[in-house]
Structure 1
Amino acid sequence: MHRISDEQRRIRLGRRHLLAPSARTASPVSVADAVVALHATDAATVFLSICARMSEASVDPVEQALYGDVSLVRQLSMRNTLFVVSRELAPCVDASNARAVASKERRTFLKHLADDSNGLDERWLADTEQQTLAALADRSTATGAELSAAVAALRTKITLFPGKRAETVQGVATRVIRILAAEGRIRRDRPRGSWTSSQFRWTAAEPWPFEEPEQARAELARRWLRAYGPATEADLTWWTGWGLGTARKALAAIGAEEVRLDGGAVGRVLPEDLAPEPAPEPWAALLPALDPSAMGWTDRGFHLPAGHREALFDRSGNIGPTVWWNGGIVGGWAQRADGEPVWRLLSDVGRDASAAIEAEASRFSQWVGRTRITPRFRTPLERELTA
């Protein structure tokens, strides 16, 4: 069986994820396509991930792509998580993942309505959705609070898990808006605050054109394997949220080849992707919490030393801001109150690497300025550096 070493995997990551300086791009859309999808649970992560890979880092082209020409879109998709993908890829992600997520969101909410004593049902939900869409059409854009003020039904409260220990009373507005967004009938527009804010306004949208789910899953697997291969079946099932059988079917559809990885595991690559690649120039990167280069695999051993995990992850398995050197995670970073980045190396990387990291921190400071970014998921090292 053909073998691909951990060193080769790190070489591929630097070039394919646009982290080596010679691989950087001027296009936010090119960044999204290079890593397939950008984690968007934390709004700032999208900007930080893109700008780390741009030849000229700036907030403006990212905002233009998200809210101007809408060439980047947010979708609730893989693992029921919010991602940003290119508009060209969005129908594929919709068919392979987002459609199923939206269907589950609707079923779950309808069950909560049925369990509540108010007599609310599917017809009530459909009427509420139509009123919400009409109110949004009247306003062009609106916040959730503005929609609730305009639509009385959105101010309804229901009891979740009645009679159980977890019983709680909850408003329906967030649930209704989430379902409409998951189905592609509305989308997030500009936030109320700066680019770091997650308080979005909403605007109308058209659902994505139909794509056959099996073909869409194969296409998504092909793109993912090109960006993250070699990788294991477990990596693909974790990243997509698919079952093992679904992942295997998608890999078979694209003719993925088996390869041996360091440590003995069996990975998969595209059939045309067996040849070794030359190393790019040495590179350093400061990547944000939940960056795709840190979240693309369930087994990150080829780029993340096991001893670093405790400092860099929270209790739920979310990775914080990381410092990279030549394809490996060597430390973590945070910001002081004035926005200045501060970092700690967890690996001994030498003088040249330290100088490159210093230069990358300077590049970060130039475009971020005094903007202060606090990750949604705080990790031990990030908290310590901030303090």
Structure 2
Amino acid sequence: MPETHPRSVAVTPRVMGRMRLASQGLLNGGFTSVPDAVRWMTAMQAQDLGSALWAVGQRVPGSAASDVRGAIDAGTVVRSWPMRGTLHLLAPEDLRWILGITSERLMNMVAGRHRELGITADDISHCRDIALKTIETIRTAEGGRGATREQLFAAFEEAGQVTKAQRGIHLIGSLCQRAWLVQGPMAGTNGKVGVQQLFVAFDEWIKDSRDLDRQEGIAELLFRYVRSHGPATVKDFAWWSQVPLAEARRGLASVQDRLVELPFGGTSYWLSPETAALLDDGVPGSRTLLALPGFDEFLLGYQDRSLVLAPEHADLVVPGKNGVFKRIIVAGGEVVGTWARTGNGKAPGVVPEPFSGELGPAAERSFRAQGRAYLKFMAG
């Protein structure tokens, strides 16, 4: 049976939020390297690369944006579509087995769109051969490290595969879902955040992959999610991973003896024993203020975000429910506002946008320190 932590400490939403900060490496020093932080988090949403860089930076004290780009460039961190059809940062050895769990459901979800676009299984196989041949030609004949999306599109078109109307994007996505292609090194050498990545052959870029069957993999994925995101519910995990809830519950049953159950608000939350132990002496971070990026796992990584973000403020973080998350200010485990970058490359700055209208003097000083750290990180 799982351990149930005694209610010796008054557990509030803010305490739950601070425990999540601790689980995610946002308190008490974080991690010593970029790959270590990404591996601990298992998957960090990264469709906006600039936000993903700072998400890692907040968890690796003393790092710079160039360190995260360098890890991507070296292949010690990969950026791909492991779940929810959205880009994430992952450890390279984790990508294949996670795709083995998630890709079939995603491909079923886009099957209707593929029929509209006239994409068949034969087309995908054809494009695999074209893509791998194009990448190999660029590598051997031109000394390149991979192919840009435009180069793959051109090769597809030359072979009679139409790429207009998002057909090309869906073809490349299908090749990545089947672990034939993966995004590899950064294109260009100017180090700008917006530079795209090259596509490379999966087996050439990721030579060592873990091998887990579906049941074992779901249990592993759930355990690592709870360890890095807890306190969280099984429904949070099912949403985050897109693993069907019934399978998620079976996965929980196989690992719950290594986790702690914390009842709160009529719901069972799960967390690691290490995070639960913080309740014994008081959860740290009550005075910690963080300027986190948009799409950070602290907020986005849960189906139910109401523990840390008051529902009446949700539209201020995701205006119009358009799926675009603004940068957030987190104080004491609670989202208390958003923030924005101002100025241009020569004179950048940051400005807080608190829900209450203003930050107190101490919070203002903390935010300014966070702003300086952010600008230094992004410039590095």
Smaller-chain TM-score bracket: 0.7 to 0.9
- Report the counterpart of residue 376 of structure 1 in structure 2: none
Give SS of 2:291's match: strand
Q: Report which stretch shifted further, 83-92 or 212-221.
A: 83-92
Q: Distance in 2 between matches of 1:352 and 1:106?
A: 49
Q: What aligned pairs does 1:50-129 form with structure 2 within 5 A after superposition?
A: 50-68=56-74, 70-97=75-102, 99-101=103-105, 103-104=107-108, 107=111, 111-112=115-116, 116=118, 121-129=120-128
- Report the counterpart of residue 267 of structure 2 in structure 1: 265
User: 1:153 Cα shift?
Assistant: 5.0
- Report the counterpart of residue 360 of structure 2 in structure 1: 350
From the superposition, tell whether residues 177 and 91 of structure 1 become closer, same or farther in structure 2 (CA, over 3 Å). closer
- Report the counterpart of residue 26 of structure 1 in structure 2: 32
Q: Report which stretch shifted further, 320-329 or 31-40.
A: 31-40
Say yes or no: does 1:184 pair with 2:179.
yes
Identity of aligned residues (%): 20
Say yes or no: does 1:245 pair with 2:223.
no
In structure 1, list runs of 5 or more residues that go unmatched. 159-168, 372-387
- Report the counterpart of residue 12 of structure 1 in structure 2: 19
Question: Which amino acid letter does the alignment assign opposite residue 364 of structure 2?
Answer: S
Q: Distance in 1 between matches of 2:336 and 2:327?
A: 11
Question: Which amino acid letter does the alignment assign opposite residue 31 of structure 2?
Answer: T
Alignment TM-score, normalising by the size of structure 2: 0.82
Deviations 1:101-150 (A, max 9, x none): 5643785576346xx4xxx7533442332122101111131212122333
From the superposition, tell whether residues 86 and 134 of structure 1 become closer, same or farther in structure 2 (CA, over 3 Å). same
Deviations 1:208-232 (A, max 9, x none): 5542011011011001111222222
Q: What aligned pairs does 1:1-387 form with structure 2 within 5 A after superposition?
A: 2-3=6-7, 4-20=11-27, 22-68=28-74, 70-97=75-102, 99-101=103-105, 103-104=107-108, 107=111, 111-112=115-116, 116=118, 121-140=120-139, 141-153=146-158, 156-157=161-162, 170=165, 172-188=167-183, 189-192=185-188, 194-197=191-194, 199-206=196-203, 208=209, 210-255=211-256, 256-261=259-264, 263-270=265-272, 274-275=276-277, 276=279, 278-280=282-284, 282-314=287-319, 315-338=321-344, 339-347=348-356, 350-369=360-379
- Provide the aligned length of Structure 1 versus Structure 2: 351
Give SS of 2:199's match: strand
Q: Distance in 2 between matches of 1:311 and 1:287?
A: 15
Q: Distance in 2 between matches of 1:138 and 1:53?
A: 39
Question: Which amino acid letter does the alignment assign opposite residue 333 of structure 1?
Answer: W
Q: Report which stretch shifted further, 202-211 or 138-147.
A: 202-211
Q: Distance in 1 between matches of 2:350 and 2:273?
A: 42
Q: CA RMSD in A?
A: 2.8
Please say if residues 294 and 319 of structure 1, whose CA atoms lie closer than 8 Å, have aligned partners that are also in contact. Answer: no
Alignment TM-score, normalising by the size of structure 1: 0.81
Give SS of 2:290's match: strand
- Report the counterpart of residue 383 of structure 1 in structure 2: none
Q: Distance in 2 between matches of 1:121 and 1:95?
A: 20
Q: Distance in 1 between matches of 2:255 and 2:64?
A: 37
Give SS of 1:329's match: strand
Q: Distance in 2 between matches of 1:47 and 1:84?
A: 10
